[in-house]
């Protein structure tokens, strides 16, 4: 009898988890397929480059999976919006550091690292922008610090186009090529995939604090 109860409980738990997973996936997919999806993607990509903590991949991925043929368009939207948002981040660092910029830098744990960052930028600024912009490390740190340290603005924009383009077009390319199996996997366990993505974002912040 105990074994039967255990099996029944496990089945009920699995069904509940499956229902929650399907419901969450349905909501995200509905947003990704909605009429305002592209504008939402642009808004998130813009904000993430200057102050918002959530990366645009959280919208880019389900949008590209829902419509793989438009994956390249979505990547282009994310790239353009991210670069423009990066310009705002640069301006915050260059003109508003004593207020907004200083607060943001302290929030991310960089208040005591500015001298080291200045030395790094003096020698390897271009490499910092290229590498950090293509990783999970929050790009806003790159844009604000670039403005604060007066990095060449034209070169900053050019490097931003390259690094953000590589980041988003790589994501779009993978989703375009392997969209169907990835979509099937997400439908089966979207909650776990979302949890993994959140963990990746958190890891990006931790890595940034440790090694930026």
The pLDDT assigned to 35 comes to 79
Of 9-18, 29-38, 43-52, least confident by mean pLDDT is 9-18
Question: Among candidates 72, 44, 74, 80, which has minimal Cα distance to 60?
Answer: 74
User: Between 139 and 182, where is the model more confident?
Assistant: 139
Question: Measured between alpha carbons, how far is residue 122 from residues 18, 129, 151 in Å?
Answer: 52, 12, 9
User: Between 191 and 64, where is the model more confident?
Assistant: 64
Residue 154: how many other CB atoms lie within 10 Å = 7
The pLDDT assigned to 165 comes to 93
Residue 35: how many other CB atoms lie within 10 Å = 6
The pLDDT assigned to 6 comes to 35
Question: Among candidates 192, 204, 197, which has minimal Cα distance to 18?
Answer: 192
**Chain Cα centroid distance, residue 148:** 23
Question: Among candidates 107, 97, 105, 159, which has minimal Cα distance to 134?
Answer: 159
Taking the model in full, what pTM does it have?
0.72
pLDDT digits (tens, 9 = 90+) for 176-190: 777 677 767 666 666
C-alpha 59/C-alpha 28 separation (Å) is: 8
Residue 82 reports pLDDT greater than 60: yes
User: Between 56 and 134, where is the model more confident?
Assistant: 56
Q: How confident is the model at residue 80 (pLDDT cuts 50, 70, 90)?
A: very high
82-91 residues labelled b (16+ CB within 10 A) or e (exposed) = bbbbbbbbbb
- Looking at residue 140, the DSSP 8-state letter turns out to be H
Residue 75 reports pLDDT greater than 90: yes
Domain map (residue ranges) of the chain: 2-211
The pLDDT assigned to 158 comes to 94
């Amino acid at each position: 009898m105990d074994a039967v109860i255990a099996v029944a409980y496990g089945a009920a738990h699995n069904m509940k988890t499956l229902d929650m997973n399907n419901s969450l996936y349905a909501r995200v997919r509905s947003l990704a397929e909605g009429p305002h999806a592209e504008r939402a993607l642009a808004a998130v990509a813009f904000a993430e480059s200057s102050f918002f903590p959530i990366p645009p991949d959280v919208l880019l991925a389900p949008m590209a999976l829902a419509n793989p043929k438009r994956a390249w368009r979505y990547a282009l939207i994310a790239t353009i919006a991210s670069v423009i948002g990066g310009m705002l981040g640069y301006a915050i660092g260059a003109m508003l550091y004593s207020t907004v910029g200083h607060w943001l830098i302290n929030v991310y744990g960089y208040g005591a690292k500015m001298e080291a960052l200045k030395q790094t930028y003096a020698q390897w600024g271009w490499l910092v922008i290229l590498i950090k912009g293509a990783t999970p490390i929050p790009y806003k740190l790159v844009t604000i610090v670039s403005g604060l340290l007066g990095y060449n603005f034209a070169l900053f924009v050019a490097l931003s186009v390259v690094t953000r383009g590589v980041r988003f077009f790589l994501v779009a390319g993978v989703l375009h090529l392997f969209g169907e199996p990835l979509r099937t996997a997400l439908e089966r366990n979207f909650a776990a995939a979302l949890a993994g993505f959140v963990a990746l974002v958190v890891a990006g912040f931790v890595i940034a604090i440790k090694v930026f």
